[in-house]
Structure 1
Amino acid sequence: MKDQYDFSKGKRGAVTPASGNKVRITIRLDSDIVDWFRSRVEEKGGGNYQTMLNQALRSYIDQQGQPLEDVLRRVLREELNSAQ
């Protein structure tokens, strides 16, 4: 190790920039919500609970623009398939 280091050209911030269109934020979620997503990831054999959370939010947003008839048909189809 050196006795002194020159940080005059150093830059503040993350060592590696965020990839793609992801944005780093701080968010406070209920612990039971985070625990649920983490347990789903473990059940599936690994992955990232944050990715799963992102997918759930995206799915919710996508469904907001759907007509009620389409939503009802999808839900009924899913329920009938799970009952078989």
Structure 2
Amino acid sequence: MKKPSAKPIDDDLREEYDLSQLKGGVRGKYADRYQEGTNLVLLAPDVAESFPTDEAVNEALRLVIRLRKIPGAQKKAAAKA
């Protein structure tokens, strides 16, 4: 089977965009940060309704963390479940 012939690229870059004037760009400037990843968490819509801001979510999660550190709290929580 023959490959379709390559069509010439339609260069729609405007004449006023002179790329030779772009100086000082650094290739890969944010590459390391990108590879570190992210800790973005998406909340279910019903959960998101309960928290007006990201700080409210953080505050609630910090409370859960503190409650987990209370001796015996995990045993009581497991018994309820």
Give the TM-score normalised by structure 2.
Answer: 0.45
Give the TM-score normalised by structure 1.
Answer: 0.44
Question: Considering only CA atoms, is the larger Rg found in Structure 1 or Structure 2?
Answer: 2
